[in-house]
Amino acid sequence: MDSSVKRTILFLIFCVIGAVFIVRLVFLQLLDDSYLRSAQNNVLQEQTIYPARGLIYDRKGELLVYNDAIYDLTVIPEQVKNLDTTVFCKVLGITKNDFIAKFEKLKRGKGYAPYRPSLFEKQLTIPMYAAFQEKLFDFPGFFVEVRTDRKYKHSNAAHIMGYIGEVTDRDIEQSDGYYRMGDYMGISGIEKTYEKDLRGVNGVRYILVDSKNRTQGRYKEGTFDTAAIAGKNIALSIDQVLQDLGEQLMRNKTGSIVAIEPSTGELLALVSSPTYDPNLFIGRDRGNHYMELLRDPTKPLFNRPLAAPYPPGSIFKVLESLVGQQEKVLTPATSYACHHGYLFVGCHAHSSPNQLRGAIAISCNGYFCQVYRSIVNNPRYHRVEEAYNSFHDHVASFGLGKRLGVDLFGEGAGFLPPATYYDKVYGRYRWQALTTLSLGIGQGELGITPLQMANATSSVANRGYYITPHIVKAIAGKPNPNPEYNVKHWCTVDTSYFPIVIEGMQDVVERGTAYIARIPGIEICGKTGTAQNPHGKDHSVFFAFAPKDHPKIAIAVVVENAGFGATWAAPIASILLEQYLTGKHDTRPALVERMLNGNLTHRDDSIPATKSETF
């Protein structure tokens, strides 16, 4: 082929492309006038339509959280013209320096562009909003955007609800473009866990505005608009009445209550005390409120039921009884004598000797030290650590010493010492049952969270399995949204070993240490505990489930620095059981009154004070 022909071919290709461009220009510029209309002295503006966040209900359909309108002031910096700053600042109640600082901060923000709306001032008060609406024409470039914030109908269950807050730069980066500066998202609690369900999907509206920011109409008749999809409503497994009563009973006390429906693993109540009003985290002052709560020495933000580890005290004896039987070192007929304790572990005065059932009922320390010893020094195993590991694994199968996987953030693992831990402390082969004897009565290094206590109770109530505790009951009307929460986790103790222990637990309430918790007509099985506390007075612990057959509720109560389990924890649990099972709690008004009014907040301060006077 002649080379100049090749040149001609190449140039023809160039011309074809040029012709394609010209044809395209004919369409864009001459034939299709919609672009002209779009642009005729108009500017395309994008408005985000925020969907309503999902509502939150309790297990009975009682509304807990709803939405309330709030007004944000946004600005498109490029459109700000001839602004009378003095008037503007007066309406907003800020100084001119604040105004300049705000603008500087805006410009440093992520995704800032002079032609895009940025959040200038969030959550205007109603009078501010009114004043602004009136003067908006004087402030071109500024707009008031309506969005919704949360309202908590009952002002309780703050730790469950969590709160929503403005997204951080990191959230924006990680969200793959969903969040924008000034958006809100769940920061903790249920708002965080189920953020994706609750938030819905933002919609977008494209409108045309003229250079003076007056709306001229929809862009391309709204072809590109997307509707906002409202967030899904969530039903919690919480019983609002029970939760509220629990919080009232724990007022002026420090501690936790966890109530679970054993057959489903649903959390019925989750009380952390001291608590706070979730409505504090709404509105313009939420930052200040947050700082106040953060500085509060009683740590109201700490989610105790999920994260605070306690030595469980005597309630651990229930698990030992089960493990002992499984390891064949204990039968219901095993009898040990107790002479006010065993070696260095003391015991209170009671009849002796006892068989298993009786030992549980009177919580005999001596008996359970022997049981613990026979488990750990079990001759079936070659070494102590093998026996101990076997014990450790049995106990762990009740959900102790690990995170259970509840659908709330901030869950702690607690601590169930493995054999290697004692190897480290005492040296390998240099420890045995007697070295770690305090474990036999649920003291020592053990750390169990109230959630784990309740879960263990639930396992006993179910005669050998638990379902991971969770707080969601239904999402958008669909029950049991998470299949993980249908799985039965079987403990390594056979079902046949449970009845005798449960009999013993019933005796605890009927005639044993927790007689105070007895409710005529309801078969309650429980166990008191008094958790030794190296930092102050012992913690009062009680766990129970009821009724004995087909249990409907398992509960664990911890009251910090309150002494014996029977003094505070057991009566509080009893009142809650009565409320949940009968719907009322009015049979023992004096007891209820005493629990409601009990104030344990200043005890810690007073005890050291008197001591120092004595010495």
Partner 1 sequence: MIQSQQQNLKPFSIDWLTLVLYYIFVVGGLFCIYASVYKEDHPLIYDAGMNYGKQVIWIGISSFIGLLILLVDEKFFYAFAYALYGIAIALLIAVLIMGTSFRGSNSWIEIGGFRLQPAEFAKFATALALAKYLGGFRIKFTERKVQYISIGMILLPMAIILFQNETGTALVFGSFIFMLYREGLPGYFLFIGFMIALMGVLALIVPPLYLIIAIGVIAILMLLFIRRNRQNILIVFGVALAFIIYVGSVNYMFEHVMQAHQKSRINVLLGKEVDLKGAGYNVQQSKIAIGSGGLTGKGFLQGTQNKFRFVPEQSTDFIFCTVGEEFGFAGSVGFIVMYLLLLWRVLFIAERQRYKFNRIYGYCVAAILFFHFTINIGMTLGILPVIGIPLPFFSYGGSSLLSFTILLFILIRLDANRINELQGSFE
Among 361, 358, 393, smallest CA distance to 375 is for: 393
To partner 1, the closest distance from the beta carbon of 24 in angstroms equals: 5
Nearest-approach distance from CB 20 to partner 1, in angstroms = 8
> What is the C-alpha R_g of the chain?
33
Question: Of 208 and 559, which CB lies nearer to partner 1 in the complex structure?
Answer: 208
Three-state SS sequence of 148-196: EEEEECCCCCHHHHCCEEECCHHHHHHCCCCCCCCCEEECCHHHHHCHH
Q: Which is nearer to partner 1, 78 or 84 (CB)?
A: 78
Closest separation in Å from C-beta 42 to partner 1: 8
Q: Among residues 151 and 218, whose Cβ is nearest to partner 1?
A: 218
Asked if 319 and 395 count as a contact pair (C-beta separation under 8 A), the reply is: yes
In contact, 348 and 565? CB cutoff 8 Å: no
Q: Which residue has the tokens 């562009």?
A: 113
Tell the residue number behind the tokens 């007073």, with chain if given.
Answer: 606
The b/e string for 284-306 (b: 16+ C-beta within 10 A; e otherwise) is eebeebbeebeeeeeebbebbbb
Cβ closest to partner 1, residue 226 vs residue 252: 226
Helix, strand or coil, per DSSP, at residue 259: strand
Least distance (Å) from partner 1 to the CB of residue 479?
35
DSSP 8-state code for residue 104 = H
Specify whether the CB–CB gap between 513 and 566 falls below 8 A. Answer: yes
Whose tokens are 């250079």? That residue is 211
d(CA 582, CA 241): 12
In the complex, minimum distance from the CB of residue 200 to partner 1, in angstroms, rounded to a whole number: 18
CB of 439 to partner 1, least distance (A): 53
Q: Which of 82, 610 has the CB closer to partner 1?
A: 82
Nearer to partner 1, 19 or 487 (CB): 19
- To the nearest whole angstrom, how small is the minimum distance from the Cβ of residue 216 to partner 1? 12
Q: Which is nearer to partner 1, 86 or 211 (CB)?
A: 211
In a 3-state reduction of DSSP, which class is residue 472?
A: strand
What is the rounded distance in angstroms from the CA atom of residue 42 to the CA atom of residue 209?
A: 5
Residue 11 CB, nearest approach to partner 1 (Å): 6
Residue placing its CB nearer to partner 1 in the complex, 1 or 590: 1
Cα dihedral sign for 485, 488, 493, 495? positive
**By the criterion CB under 8 A, which residues form the site for partner 1?**
1, 3-4, 6-7, 9-11, 13-15, 17-18, 20-22, 24-26, 28-30, 32, 34-36, 38-46, 78-79, 113, 115, 176-177, 204, 206, 211, 224
DSSP state, 109? Answer: S
